[in-house]
Amino acid sequence: MPSIPTEIAYSLRFQVFVHIVFLFITGGTLAAQTNDDAVFDTAIDSVMAFRPKTYAPLEDLFGSYDSDSLKMVTLLQKSRSTRYIEGQCYALNSLGIIYRNISHYDKAVDAHRKAYELSLTIANIEFQVWSLNMIGVVYRRMDLVKSALDNHKKALDLANTEPNPTKALKANIAISQNSMGNIYLTLRQYNLAINEFEKSLQLEKEANNRLGLAINYQNLGYADEAMGKLDHALKNYKRSLDYNDQIGSEVGRVICYNSIGQVYIKQKKYNDAKIIIEEALKKAIVVNDQFYIASSYINMGWAQLETKTFRDAEKSLQNGLSIAENYGLKSAIVEASSKLSELYGKTGDFEKALRHYKKATELEKQIFSERNVQYVNDIIIQSENEAKNIKIKELAIENALVKSKLERNQRLFWLTLIGLAVLAGLVVAFNRNQQLRQEKQILTLEQDMLRSQMNPHFIFNSLNSIKLYIINNEKENAVYYLNKFSKFIRKILIASTEKDMNLEDELETMRLYMNIENIRFSNEIDFEVIVEKGVNLANIRVPSLIMQPFLENALWHGLSSKKGDKKIVLEVTKSSDYYVTITITDNGIGRKASEKINNSKMTKRKSVGIGITKARLAYFSKDYLGDSKLTFEDLHDDHGKASGTKVILTIPVRPSALKIA
DSSP 150-199: HHHHHHHHHHTT-SS--HHHHHHHHHHHHHHHHHHHHTT-HHHHHHHHHH
Q: What is the pLDDT of residues 473-486, one digit of tens each?
A: 788 888 888 888 88
Report how far residue 113's alpha carbon sits from residue 133's, in angstroms, rounded to the nearest whole number.
Answer: 11
Q: What is the pLDDT of residues 387-417, one digit of tens each?
A: 555 566 666 677 777 777 777 777 776 787 8
Q: How confident is the model at residue 18 (pLDDT cuts 50, 70, 90)?
A: very low
Q: How confident is the model at residue 9 (pLDDT cuts 50, 70, 90)?
A: very low
Burial-class residue 71 by CB neighbours within 10 Å (0-12, 13-18, 19+). Answer: buried
Q: Answer whether 633's CB lies under 8 Å from 646's CB.
A: yes
pLDDT of residue 8: 41
Cβ of 515: how many Cβ atoms within 10 Å? 17
Looking at the DSSP assignment, which residues form a beta bridge with residue 635? 644
Report how far residue 10's alpha carbon sits from residue 322's, in angstroms, rounded to the nearest whole number.
Answer: 50
Listed in sequence order, the residues at least 6 apart from 28 whose beta carbon sits closer than 8 Å to its beta carbon are 22, 34, 35, 38
CATH architecture of 1-123: Alpha Horseshoe (1.25)
> Which has more confidence, 184 or 240?
240
Rounded (5°) CA angle 487-492-494? 95
The mean pLDDT value for 3-27 works out to 44
Helix (H), strand (E) at residue 314: helix 310-326
Return the SS3 of 583: strand
Q: Is pTM beyond 0.85 here?
A: no
Q: How confident is the model at residue 16 (pLDDT cuts 50, 70, 90)?
A: very low
Q: CA 342 from chain center: how many Å?
A: 50
Residue 81 has pLDDT above 90, yes or no: yes
Q: How many CA atoms lie within 13 A of 631 on its CB side?
A: 7
pLDDT of residue 606: 45
> Which has more confidence, 431 or 593?
593
* 436-660 CATH fold: Heat Shock Protein 90 (3.30.565)
Residue 566 has pLDDT above 70, yes or no: yes
If you average pLDDT over every residue of the chain, what do you get?
Answer: 81
Helix 145-159 and helix 167-186: axis angle, to 10°? 150
The mean pLDDT value for 75-103 works out to 91
Helix 145-159 and helix 370-408: axis angle, to 10°? 10
The mean pLDDT value for 622-630 works out to 87
Q: What is the pLDDT of residues 154-190, one digit of tens each?
A: 888 888 888 888 888 888 888 877 777 777 777 778 8
Report how far residue 332's alpha carbon sits from residue 294's, in angstroms, rounded to the nearest whole number.
Answer: 7
* Polymer length in residues for the chain: 661
pLDDT of residue 615: 81
pLDDT of residue 140: 79
Residue type, 296: S
Q: How confident is the model at residue 24 (pLDDT cuts 50, 70, 90)?
A: very low
Report how far residue 208's alpha carbon sits from residue 72's, in angstroms, rounded to the nearest whole number.
Answer: 27
pLDDT of residue 145: 72
Q: What is the pLDDT of residues 68-77, one digit of tens each?
A: 899 899 999 9
The mean pLDDT value for 215-236 works out to 90
Helix 105-121 and helix 125-141: axis angle, to 10°? 160
The closest of 45, 42, 48 to 30, measured between CA atoms, is 42
Domain limits of the chain? 1-123, 378-408, 436-660
pLDDT of residue 188: 76
Question: Mean pLDDT lowest for which of 111-125, 368-382, 645-659?
Answer: 368-382
Q: How confident is the model at residue 117 (pLDDT cuts 50, 70, 90)?
A: very high
Q: What is the pLDDT of residues 532-544, one digit of tens each?
A: 998 999 999 998 8
Helix 55-62 and helix 85-101: axis angle, to 10°? 60
Q: How confident is the model at residue 647 (pLDDT cuts 50, 70, 90)?
A: very high
pLDDT of residue 15: 46
Q: Answer whether 113's CB lies under 8 Å from 99's CB.
A: no
Work out the percent of the chain whose per-residue pLDDT is above 90.
27
pLDDT of residue 371: 44
Q: Answer whether 572's CB lies under 8 Å from 507's CB.
A: yes
